[in-house]
Amino acid sequence: MSLFEKHKDILDGAVKAIHARTFYAQYPEHPKAYGEDAGANGMEAYKTLLGKHYDELESAGSNGQIGDETSPYLNEPLGITYPSFEIKTLIDNSNAAYNAWRKVDAEERVGILVESLENIKERFFEIGYATMHTTGQSFMMSFQASGPHANDRALEAISMGYDELTRFPKNVTWEKPMGKISVTLQKSWYAIPRGIGLVIGCSTFPIWNSVPGIFADLVTGNSVIVKPHPKVILPIAIVVAEIQKTFKANGQDPNTIQLAVDTADKPLAKELAEHADVKLIDYTGNQEFGDYLETLKDKVVFTEKTGVNSVILDSMDDLDAAFQNLAFSVSLYSGQMCTAPQNFFIPQSGITVGGENVSYDDVVQKLKENVTGLVNHPKMGAGTLGAIQNENTVTRVNEASKLGVNVILNTNGVENEEFPNARVCSPIILEVDASKKDIYEKEMFGPIVMIIKTKDTNDSIAIAKEMAQKHGAISCAAYTTDKGVKQKIGEEMALAYTPVSFNLVGPIWVNQNAAFSDFHVTGGNPAGNASFTNPEFIVKRFVWVGHREIA
């Protein structure tokens, strides 16, 4: 039985899901689904990697070993080193692999790629601990985001790729009637991949943000070089190693995917991106470098950059339910998610709750109380906040109060009993005048909340739309019980190519995006030019070429 036949049911379910857009998860998000001993085994597997050279990757041609990762929880180095390569070696390996992989039939590619996901699944717990101790995510978020959720996003890219590659027939006999005669041609079409793909990872979601590009490249026949963030290597190294092993076990060149490890002092991303043989680039990170990548000639570039996400408050039925939800949204992983809300637009006259007016000051106080209650909760606070991945984020939070704003709630250290040395800080809530757009029009990455007093809801909508159009937005939350206001918010933010989550309460937050249903980033505003996973994310990675001859 071929791998395609082996995994046909998985592929069929995924293809159906990308069209239906209803809930679908091939990989359950609950840890208990993976066996009673999986957690302990995963922890032990992670611990055995510490302080050693990581030897699971293909290393022929390596010029040394490098690695400089530190746990944000322990404030101690992981001590792991990885094989490093000259750029020429990476490119030569990738070109050779591309010329073999591009000739592999789409069904065989899909079978191998789904098999690699099934192999990665066996290491979800190990990957979870690796993610936790490099990014600062809580274990549960690390397990879910880098494990089942990432695998689902990867499967989504594979299934979308297969759907597009099989959209048209491979061969057809074409006949054109011309009166007493006809002309008959034999036509054939080929999906020709573009070449080498470069995937540049980020420091906060090293797998979830990288696998869509990785698997979109691979399913369409391209080879891939993965360049992780130098401080967050281990999680994606495990994934790349499992893909390489799967390729090797099935007669394919394992260097079809390679890991290009670098350091902050000697970065590789720019040199790799500018290399003539690199044709595709996937990038998640800051605006400046993303903008630069988008200017490169003769490249197809997919970016997810920074965004200024808004919350528009107008009216609601239950103030407590709404603000518990929002407090969790701004505190989850200390605001280090690209979808985390930043700017809260509140009318100066207040909002309507259950038909009654609640003053602006009372609304602000309610947000403050809910954030304070969450972060100080002995069981929920530390686990929700996680740890800060980068020391620069802590500096940014501490300096935010000096921006000429009114401090509603200052940040403070939150004790993590399990990890007393963890780098932790709680959200800071700042009030800024609506006229001071220079302060709140840029992303303040981390647990920073800006409250902006507006003239009315129409003013809130107008400013939120302007921010999204000029500076980008990945998410927008809105609370209103008025159908007309809801329609206006939806229409105006849609014109800024920004999705809106209306009236969220309970255990579903604006931060979350579901594979097979939500398009992550629209690609229509400055927050990024691509979307996980729409057809354009796939079809720009190959070119249809048709040949014909007289039959």
- Indicate the Cα dihedral angle 534, 535, 540, 546, nearest 10°: 180
Q: What is the CA radius of gyration of the chain?
A: 25
Judge whether 5 lies within some domain.
no
- The CATH number that applies at residue 245 is 3.40.605.10
Q: Are residues 207 and 278 in the same domain?
A: yes
Task: Let me know whether 285 and 416 are in one domain.
Answer: no
Show the CA angle centred on residue 318, arms to residues 312 and 322, nearest 5°. 45
Number of Cα atoms under 13 Å in the Cβ half of residue 20: 10
One-letter identity of residue 158:
I
Considering the domain architecture, whether residues 142 and 158 belong to the same structural domain is answered as yes
Under a CB-based contact definition with an 8 Å cutoff, are residues 401 and 410 in contact? yes
Say if residue 493 is in the same domain as residue 444.
Answer: yes
What does the pLDDT read at residue 413? 80
Q: Is residue 266 part of a domain?
A: yes
Three-class SS of 154-203 = HHHHHHHHHHHHCCCCCEEEEEEEECCEEEEEEEEEEEEECCEEEEECCC
At a CB cut-off of 8 Å and minimum separation 6, what does 340 contact?
A: 309, 329, 330, 332, 333, 475, 511
Q: Is 481 in a helix, a strand, or coil?
A: coil
Measured distance CA(125)–CA(446) in Å, rounded:
26
98 and 202 belong to one structural domain: yes
391 lies in the same domain as 268: no
Q: Are residues 239 and 367 in the same domain?
A: no
At 438, is the secondary structure helix, strand, or coil?
helix
In a domain, residue 299? The reply is yes
From its phi and psi, is residue 442 left (phi > 0), alpha (psi between -120 and 50) or beta?
beta
CATH at 445 = 3.40.309.10
Range of the domain at 61: 13-306+533-550
**Nearby residues of 46 by Cβ (< 8 Å), 6 or more positions away:** 125, 126, 129, 130, 133
d(CA 500, CA 512): 12
Q: Model-level pTM?
A: 0.97
Last residue of a domain, one of 463, 481, 502: 502
**What are the DSSP E strand ranges found in 340-419?**
343-347, 351-353, 356-358, 406-409
In a domain, 480, yes or no: yes
By three-state DSSP, how is residue 351 classified? strand
Helix (H, G, I), strand (E, B) or coil at 1: coil
Residues 234 and 206 in one domain: yes
* Same structural domain, 297 and 385: no
The reply to whether 302 and 335 lie within a common domain is no
> Are residues 332 and 417 located together in one domain of the fold?
yes
Run means of pLDDT, 10 residues per run, the chain, 551 residues = 97 98 97 95 98 97 97 98 98 98 98 98 98 98 98 98 97 95 96 98 98 98 98 98 98 98 96 98 96 97 96 97 97 96 98 97 98 94 95 94 93 91 96 95 95 98 98 97 98 98 96 96 97 97 97 90
Give the C-alpha separation, 231 to 136, whole Å.
Answer: 11
56/174 same-domain check? yes
Which residue, among 66, 394, 391, 62, has the nearest Cα to 233 in the 3D structure?
66
- Residues 549, 185: Cα–Cα separation, whole Å: 5
Nearest to 287 by CA among 510, 537, 496, 472: 472
pLDDT of residue 174: 97
Instruction: For residue range 88-117, list pLDDT tens digits in order.
Output: 999 999 999 999 999 999 999 999 999 999
- 280 within some domain: yes
What's the domain count of the chain?
Answer: 2
Distance CA 34, CA 37 (A): 8
Is residue 4 in a domain?
A: no
120 found inside a domain: yes
pLDDT digit string (tens) for 326-363?
A: 999 999 999 999 999 999 999 999 999 999 999 999 99
Q: What strand order describes the sheet that includes 542-550?
A: 171-178, 181-193, 542-550
Task: Answer yes or no: is 31 within a domain.
Answer: yes
